[in-house]
Homo-oligomer: A and B are copies of this chain.
Amino acid sequence: MSVLEQAAAARVAAIDLAAATRAEKDAALLLMADRLVERTDDIVAANAVDVAVARDSGISEAMIDRLALDPARIAAMADGLRQLAALPDPIGDVVRGSTLANGLELRQVRVPFGVVGMIYEGRPNVTADAAGICLKSGNSALLRGSRSAFSSNAAIVSVLRKAVADAGLPANSIQLLDATTRDSVKELMRARGLVDVLIPRGGADLIKTVVEQSTVPVIETGVGNCHVYVDADADLEKALAITINSKTHRNSVCNAAESLLVHAEIADSFLPLVLEELGSRGVTVHGDPRVAGYSDDVVAATEEDWGREYLSADIAVAVVDSLEDAMDHIRQWGTGHTEAIVSESVTATRRFVAGVDAAAVMVNASTRFTDGGEFGFGAEIGISTQKLHARGPMGLPELTSTKYVVTGNGHTR
């Protein structure tokens, strides 16, 4: 089938899926989980094909580790589906309701989008996660994973589709798109009217391409050039802990810090501490000339460094003369993901929170907390860095739209 045919089939499935009760959807999720575990051997075998191809092509061991599946990882995918079953169903929630002066009853009710397209890279566990989140929120899923994981994804989706059908819901609620050609991405981006929303997850290039070329509405996710700003009134111990955690807890993720801004008044006391600690943890500091004065290990930062999402053991560090300068720097270079201030000053934090335009602003907390799990959402489909529809970590309610239901008794204007 072509992508458009798959999208049309997804649309038909979406009608039944929208009408499915929570009980029906949860039963399907639990069956999907059981079947993944039962079919572990088949999935591991399919995954071995992808891993062999990847190894032949000379991909790094780190990438192969992201790709590889074993029984424990498949069990974790199943657990993720079981956790989804335990979460409340967003569909049918009454978001707003009132009785109007003329007696009309107005209700704004959560409904599924219909058909959700996901374009993603890397790990095959995203396939099960995305399929589960879409099903729980009543949406048909069109999954376009990476070419490198195509055999694994095909095995997983085959198991999931059978489980969904055996649970009495449409198999076409979950469909895998051809990942062996870029054409499937192009067709998906032009399937306006058949696909309700497209969520690209992956590198900046992928997201930029989708945002520029898609006529289907897009929810942009994930690019994070996150800053930690250490204010003149910062507590040094908190500033050190937050900087180190934001940069080194896990450096390949979008909510890791990529830049550190230090107020000039606190530079003498803070920079020696933080530069030593970063160095001892193997982090390369790309600093401006004022930062370079504090350590011989500082690499001179170029203009490019301020805008980079390193996703590695690198950090750009600058000294700023004021809170306003810090905010100007963030306005110029930030990607609207997560920005943190470390300060004991109510006035400074209030100004920073109001003046910084980002999905999340952290006050005396690590940038790493911008995460659906940490926020208590139970499930996350990505972190939106756009302002329309959803901003920040997206849980189940962010995968829904609403519908006004107005009930009268022959009312006319």
A residues near B (Cβ < 8 Å) are: 15, 18-19, 98, 100-101, 104, 106, 108, 111, 113-114, 192, 196-197, 211-212, 215, 217-219, 235, 237-238, 241-242, 244-245, 249, 331, 349, 353-355, 357-366, 368-370, 374-376, 386-389, 391-393, 401-413
Contact = CB atoms under 8 A, between A and B. Distances in A.
A413 B241 contact: no
Chain A interface, DSSP helix/strand/loop, else mixed: mixed
Contacts of A366: 411-413
A342 to B, nearest CB: 8
A101 B375 CA distance: 10
Given A360-B403, A360-B406, A408-B362, A388 B217 contact: yes
B354 A19 contact: yes
Contacts of A365: 104, 406-408, 410-412
Given A100-B374, A355-B19, A412-B366, A387 B406 contact: no
Contact of A369 (B241, B361, B369, B406): B406
Given A354-B19, A410-B238, A412-B249, A403 B391 contact: yes
Given A100-B374, A404-B392, A405-B361, A410 B235 contact: yes
Contacts of A370: 404, 406
Contacts of A19: 354-355
9 contacts: A238-B409, A241-B410, A242-B410, A242-B412, A360-B403, A365-B410, A369-B413, A391-B403, A392-B404
**How many copies of the polypeptide does the oligomer hold?**
2
Contacts of A360: 403-406
A106 B238 CA distance: 19
Which of A215, A363, A412 neighbours the largest number of chain B CB atoms within 10 Å of its CB? A412
Contacts of A402: 391-392
A408 B364 contact: yes
Given A238-B410, A376-B98, A357 B114 contact: yes
Contacts of A359: 403-404
A18 B358 CA distance: 13
Contact of A106 (B104, B375, B404, B405): B375
Contacts of A388: 113, 196-197, 217, 219, 388-389, 401
Contacts of A374: 100, 413
Q: Which of A217, A349, A392 has the most CB of B within 10 A?
A: A217
Contact of A104 (B98, B369, B409): B369
Contacts of A237: 410
A335 B308 CA distance: 43
Contact of A18 (B235, B354, B364, B409): B354
Contacts of A219: 388
Contacts of A362: 406, 408
A131 to B, nearest CB: 20
Contact of A245 (B217, B331, B357, B413): B413
A139 to B, nearest CB: 11
Contacts of A211: 192, 215
Interchain residue pairs A-B with the least CB separation, the first 6: A365-B408, A238-B410, A245-B412, A387-B401, A389-B389, A365-B411
A199 to B, nearest CB: 11
A403 to B, nearest CB: 6
Contact of A197 (B215, B358, B387, B409): B387
A244 B410 CA distance: 12
